Amino acid sequence: MKKIFSNSKTSFSSIPSKGTHKFSAENFAHSRLPGSESPFSEIESTKFWNLKKNKGFTLVELLVSISVFSVVMVICMGSIVVMLDSNRKSEAERSVMDNLGYTMDNMVRSIRFGSSYHCGLSGTLNQPLDCPTGDTAITVLDSSGTQTTYRLSGGAIVKTVGGVDYILTSPDTTIQTLTFFVLGSTLYSAGDVVQPRVIITVNGIAGVNSKSQSSFNLETMVSQRKLDIQ
């Protein structure tokens, strides 16, 4: 080491000999002369390095992040809305099918165990009458001998017993068409050798909300359980 300068008032620090000194901004700040001003003070040097380490997001990066997040949220919300609509539609269909199942079972039971099938509302209702082309009403004598009529009225299936009407379908179900095809209702003694049977077709719309409505078509065939020769 070589002494640069020294006196009674001021002493300068020693610096490494030639070939051993490595220059840097930090070394320069620490090796300055006492009392002299340096462009790289210890505080300024610390702020400089901390600023490089703690660099934040730019405005462009924030805008891009928000835009991507917004697009993802819109896609997710669209999927959720579709799932909710599908769920409401499936619930409406299930409710309608349960109600129609009860209605069809009620009609089928009365027709199967009944007799004297009369198609339509004209003529004597307790007398058998075929209708190969179909009609919107049918009258039968149930197993207890009570006259029962099923018909389409105001978008609903109505059951009439003893002059009293009973609506069988639910309010959220609209019956558009109800058709009964009656075949072989004439008695065997009158020369009809065909066992009485009825074909029932039902078409309608389930649900009251236009976005969740669905159409349905049902068809079934019922034959009289009691032999026509008896």
101 and 215 part of one domain: yes
Cα 57 to Cα 223: distance, rounded to the nearest angstrom = 79
Question: At CA 181, angle to CA 169 and CA 118, rounded to 5?
Answer: 85
- Give the structural domain span for 99: 94-223
Give 15-33 pLDDT, tens digit per residue.
444 444 454 545 544 554 4
Count of structural domains within the chain: 2
Q: What is the 3-state secondary structure (H, E, C) of 89-110?
A: HHHHHHHHHHHHHHHHHHHHHH
Residue 127 sits in the same domain as residue 207: yes
Q: Find the range with the poorest average confidence among 1-5, 39-43, 192-196, 211-215.
A: 1-5
In this structure, are 140 and 34 located in the same domain?
A: no
Tell me the whole-structure pTM to 2 decimals: 0.62
